[in-house]
Amino acid sequence: MASHRRPRQPNRARVTVLTATATAAVALSAQGANAAPKPSKSEVKAQVDKYYAEAERATNQYDGAKEKQQKLEKEISRLQDKVAREQGELNELRTGLGAMASEQYRSGGIDASVQLFLSADPDDYLDKASTLDSLSEQQVESLKKVQAKQRELAQERAEAAEKLADLAETRTELGKKKTEIQGKLSKAQKLLNTLTTAERRQMAEEEQRASRSATARVELGKEKEVAASGIGAAALNAAATQIGKPYVRGGTGPNSYDCSGLTQWAYAQAGAHISRVTYTQVNEGPHIGMSQLKPGDLVFFNNTEHVGLYAGNGQVLHAPYPGTSVRYESMSTIGSFQFGVRVNG
């Protein structure tokens, strides 16, 4: 006989768990389908190189602002010293006029014109030429000296105030550039962190092989290429003694360098002073093309954001970017070549 019992209803809690599990599975499936694929090692390197180039651009601007700040600080200090001296000289001139007035008083009273001067602005006073007739030649000369000194003092104070305002703007710019640099380097590091330990080790090994190859090519080319000048040869030899020292933003030696810090230091050892940043180092000599390069010439890349020393046989000696050290590298792997500059000292 057929059973007439009602079918058993599924447990409410069990239905809830199954529904939640199914929903989560669908969500994870959708998330996996929509997630961007992990970038390859070559893609990471290309993007990291881009961030380093942007950081180097900001570093050049930072170095330029830093140099400007140091120059302004020296000029302001000089102006402040000059203002203090001139104020002392003005005080002495006024003291002399006071002594003159005292003498007149003891001998029968202060001349009305001198009395007017002591209670009024000398500039306004001397502009009233009619009062000069009642002054002695000595008094006129003293009053003119006071007037000239006051005008000079006012001009120096105005110049100092202008430079102080410029210094404040420069310091603000420095802060912005520092933040920009740190942001670019942070992005580069985050990208590098997406690589496995093995991938990062492989990248480092590839760079080491490339550096050894570049060094070998420099040695092979020494007999074929000679520097255009003794200064260029001396600068290149000096830079070669710094191989292995780390790249540090703002570094000018002797313990660390950024790209233009290395070139400036190297030429200083050769007895030639060149400016601090790439934007001004481009003006240190005539521009030359790739086929004209000689060892020791400055070589500029990436819209003049990066500089190194031509080492011969298509190789460059430079401070590449954070995390690396001074090394030889093929021109073909550094970036877009702009031009060379031959420093004649």
Residue 340: helix, strand or coil by DSSP? strand
Say if CB 226 and CB 39 are below 8 A apart: no
3-state DSSP assignment of residue 300: strand
* Other residues' Cβ atoms within 10 Å of the Cβ of residue 172: 11
Within-domain flag for 10:
no
CB 270 within 8 A of CB 235: yes
Q: Which of 4, 259, 273, 287 is catalytic?
A: 259
- pLDDT for 125 equals 55
Structure tokens at 26: 């669908």
CATH code of the domain in which 214 resides: 3.90.1720.10
Statement to judge: residues 155 and 297 lie in one domain: no
Name the phi and psi angles at 228, rounded to 5.
Answer: -75, -20
Supply the pLDDT for residue 111.
Answer: 53
Other beta carbons less than 10 A from residue 122's beta carbon: 22
Query: Is 283 a member of any domain?
Result: yes
Residue 31 is assigned to a structural domain of this protein: no
For the chain, the domain total comes to 2
Contact (Cβ atoms closer than 8 angstroms) between residue 48 and residue 192: yes
Tell me what pLDDT residue 253 has: 93
Q: What does each C-alpha distance from 220 to 89, 216, 286, 334 come to in angstroms?
A: 68, 6, 28, 20
Give residue-wise pLDDT tens across range 198-225. Answer: 998 988 888 889 989 999 999 888 878 9
Give me the sheet containing 298-301, strands edge to edge: 287-288, 337-341, 298-301, 306-312, 315-318, 327-330
Whether the Cβ atoms of residue 123 and residue 150 lie closer than 8 Å to each other: yes
Per-residue pLDDT of the chain (345 residues; tens, 9 = 90+): 444 555 555 555 444 444 444 454 444 444 444 556 777 888 888 888 888 888 888 888 888 888 889 899 999 998 888 888 888 888 887 777 666 556 555 555 545 555 555 555 555 555 554 454 555 676 677 777 777 878 888 888 888 889 899 889 989 888 998 899 889 989 998 989 889 999 989 888 888 899 899 999 998 888 789 999 999 999 999 999 999 999 998 899 999 999 999 999 999 999 999 999 999 999 999 999 999 999 999 999 998 999 999 999 999 999 998 889 999 999 999 989 999 999 986
Place of tokens 């600068």: 235
Longest dimension (CA), the chain: 152
Q: Is 6 helix (H, G, I), strand (E, B) or coil?
A: coil
Cβ(282)–Cβ(299) under 8 Å? Answer: no
Q: By residue range, what is the domain housing residue 61?
A: 41-191
Burial of 12 (C-beta count, 10 Å sphere; 0-12/13-18/19+):
exposed
What is the reported pLDDT for 20? 46
The string of pLDDT tens digits covering residues 137-162 is 766 777 777 778 788 888 888 888 89
Q: Are residues 178 and 62 in the same domain?
A: yes
Which of 170, 191, 212 marks a domain boundary?
191
Q: For residue 259, indicate whether it is catalytic.
A: yes
Which of 4, 273, 287, 318 is catalytic? The answer is 318
Q: Residue type for 179, please?
A: T
- Domain co-membership, 57 together with 144: yes
